[in-house]
Structure formats: C-alpha cells, structure tokens
Amino acid sequence: MALPPGSFGLPLIGDTLKFLQDSQFAKKRHQQYGPIFKTSIFGQPTVFMRGQEANLFVLSNDNQYFVVTWPPSTRALLGPLSLALQTGANHQNRRKLLYQAFQPRALAGYLGGMENITQRYLEKWAKMETMTWYPELRNYTFDVAGKLLVGLENGSETALGHYFETWCNGLFSIPLDVPWTQFGKAKKCRKLLLAELEKIIRDRQQGTPSGNDALSLLISARDDEGKSLSLDELKDQVLLLLFAGHETLTSAIASFCLLLAQNPDVMAKVRAEQQQFPATEPLSLEQLKQMTYLEQVIREVLRLVPPVAGIFRTVINACEFGGYEIPKGWSVLSGITQTHQDNQLYPEPDRFDPDRFSSDRSAKPFSYVPFGGGLRECLGKEFARLEMKFFAAKIVRDFEWELLPDQDLNLIAVPTPHPRDGLRVKFRRNYS
C-alpha cells in the first residue's frame, strides 16, 4: 500500500521551521495534497490528516494503533510524570485521581475566587481606557489559575508567574539545549518553577489543607490502592494544570473578545440575554447553565479558533487510513482546526455564526473537538468552559470595548493562537 503524498522537506529539520512559523502550514499542504499528507517535523516522519473520520480513527484507537506523543521540546518541559505523557492503565489511574479537582462540587467552590479576580481586572481595565489586551488577559487567567489551582494570590506578579511565561514560550520550539535559545531559557525556567512549586506544596502539606483549591484536593487524594501522589508527581501535575488552565484559556478568551468586537450583532444578542439575570446577584452555576445563546457563542468561538490546533500521536502498530499506509514509528497529527474548517461539516466555515449551534441536530462524533476526545479528552474541559462563560457574562453586562485601528489581527499560532499585535482596544464601562 502506498504512503501518503507529500515531501519530507530539508535533511534533519524537515519542515519544522515552516510548521512553527506559518499558521497556514497544514491548510496549504492539504490544499496541495488532499485530506492526508506526509512531512517531517520535530525529527519525525509525520502524517497530517483532517476531518471527522480522521479524528474518529485516531481518537478511538488510542493504545491500539496510537499512543500519545508530544514534540521533544514539550515532553522535556512538561516532565516525565505529567499526566499528558502517561499512557494505558497508568494514565487512566492518574486521570481519575486528578479529576477530583474538576468534578462539579469542586467547580462550584471556585466561583467565589473567580468573581473577585474578574471584578478586580474589569475595574482596572476601565481605568486604563486603552490597552494591549492580550498580555492583560494572560495575567488575568494566570491569577485565576494560581488562586483556584494552588491557592496563590496575584500569581502573575510572583516569581512563578514570570518564570511561567518563559517556560510556555519554549513548549513548541526546536529543542536546542543552549542558554540563548527559547528552549534553553524555558528549560532553566522549568527548574525554577519546580522549586517554587515545591515550596508551595511543602507549605500546604505542613499546614491545614484549605480544601478550596485543586492542590488541596490533590494532596488529600488517594488512588485505588490508597496511595497519595509523591512530591515529584505533584509538581509535574500542578505544572500541567497551570498550563492547561492558563495558556489555552487566554487564547480562547482573547478570541471571544476579538470576535465579539468584530460582530456587533452577536454582541447585542449576548447583551440582551444577560438582561434576564439580576445584576445585583453573584453569578451562580444555575444561572450560567441558563445562558443558552452565550453557550452557542462560546462553542462557535472554539470552533473558529480552537486553542489547540491538532492531536499528536505516535504509531505503535502500522495501520491504514484513506487508502494509505501509516508505518509503525511515525507520528500522526489529526487537525482540529482543519476539521472545524470543513465545509461539509460547517457550511461557510470562515463565517462567525453562533446560530449553527442553535439546533439539537446531533453532530457526527468527533466533528467538533476543541477539547480533543476519547480516552484523553481534556480533563479541565469543564473548568475552561466555566471560566470562559463566567468571564463573558461579567464583561458583556457592564463593559464595552472596540478595536483600535491600524493593528495586525492575524493570528500567531504558537504556542496558542493570538493576535500578532496583542489585541489593542478601547475599553470602558457601559452606562446604557
């Protein structure tokens, strides 16, 4: 059976640089070769595929044809004990344990902290009037993640917050371990981050567990054999939770803010829905559930600009898809962005249209995968959806914003999609 069409690019580095620098890399190659092509990135022959059937094939064959993989830079920076790198029974066991921090009762306990931090930032932004919003949104989501996940106040202003940004920048980079590269700087920051996390964890273990953040739940959690997480594992898992609860969420919230500013008709409908809820009461989980139009808007934001562009796997048993052989030892990348752009699944895919999620017509399994799917669906999915919805409801009720002219709103894809010029806006309280 033939290998997929395509080329491996340059010796050694293949197409890695093009993949990292061009947000349209996969789209252009798919236009050239069709729904499946081969290339070489991060030192590995890699098959790119797209579409609902590709996602179904990859996500329903975990541990049979595929195991999770990440680029070498990501693996080195996440750490060997991270849930993201675990496979098989070990992964399922650890996932069950970490889920305790994201079950409905835990989420309900996070609302108070979310309310305080969100209100503080909204007031701050109203005083600033004009700003480059993306760095501010990064600080906001890091403060929320720091408070709710490890009990840290004003996390973005701490050493942890400063190291974290440099660490994130190296996650998807060429793993050249010298001090001046993105990867080299990030690796140094990983050591510093782990030292900071160790202090926080030891303090918590010696003190009284507060029970109001994910770390307290993880310290007291026990697996099926009654064992608790070791200090080294707690550090790697907390690092992963901070990344998932911060980097991808910043991208999603920034996309929401950008798309609403570009679509005033949608903004007006979101505002109208908010009128049903008393402005004087704190937002509850019950109220958030009733915001059905806002839910559609968030779903459409995550369709149009998914924070994670694709699903990486290593082939453990040769298989075939779409009439082509996929050899053992190769990597596979099933495209989330490219699936969400499929006009067979989503007519006029480039148009921002929340009404496409208004009916109950059931979508094909794995045609909408902003959080992945199958055995490895994003563990923090409900946390992310809660924070997005909470932020959106608060900001739309009382504030308005418009895009400043003469800025580049094209998206940089790495490490997560964000506007090239950082999303410059005029922000003010809405007195109407």
- What does the pLDDT read at residue 224? 78
CA distances for 341 relative to 95, 248, 270, 357, angstroms: 31, 19, 24, 15
Amino acid occupying residue 170:
G
Residue 4 belongs to a domain: no
3-class SS shares of the chain: helix, strand, coil, % to 5: 50, 15, 35
Tell which residue, 163, 335, 168, 158, has the closest CA to residue 245: 168
Range of the domain at 103: 16-429
d(CA 187, CA 178): 9
Residue 336 lies in a domain: yes
Res 362: pLDDT: 58
Residue 236 has what pLDDT?
92
Whether residue 7 lies inside any domain: the answer is no
Q: What is the pLDDT of residue 360?
A: 64
pLDDT for position 131: 96
Q: What would the two tokens of residue 281 be? A: 């009461």
Query: Per the omega criterion (within 30 degrees of 0), is the bond before 209 cis?
Result: no
Burial class (CB in 10 A: 0-12, 13-18, 19+), 245: buried
Domains in the chain, number: 1
Q: Would you say residue 353 lies in a domain?
A: yes
Q: Given the DSSP bridges, would you call strands 324-326 and 319-321 parallel, antiparallel or unpaired? A: antiparallel
Instruction: Tell whether 2 is covered by a domain.
Output: no
Q: Would 267 be classed as within a structural domain?
A: yes
Helix (H) or strand (E) holding 326: strand 324-326
For residue 397, tell me if it sits in a domain.
yes
Q: Which residues of the chain have pLDDT under 50?
A: none
Which CATH number belongs to the domain containing residue 181 in this structure?
1.10.630.10
152 located within any domain: yes
Nearest Cα residue to 248 out of 342, 172, 317: 172
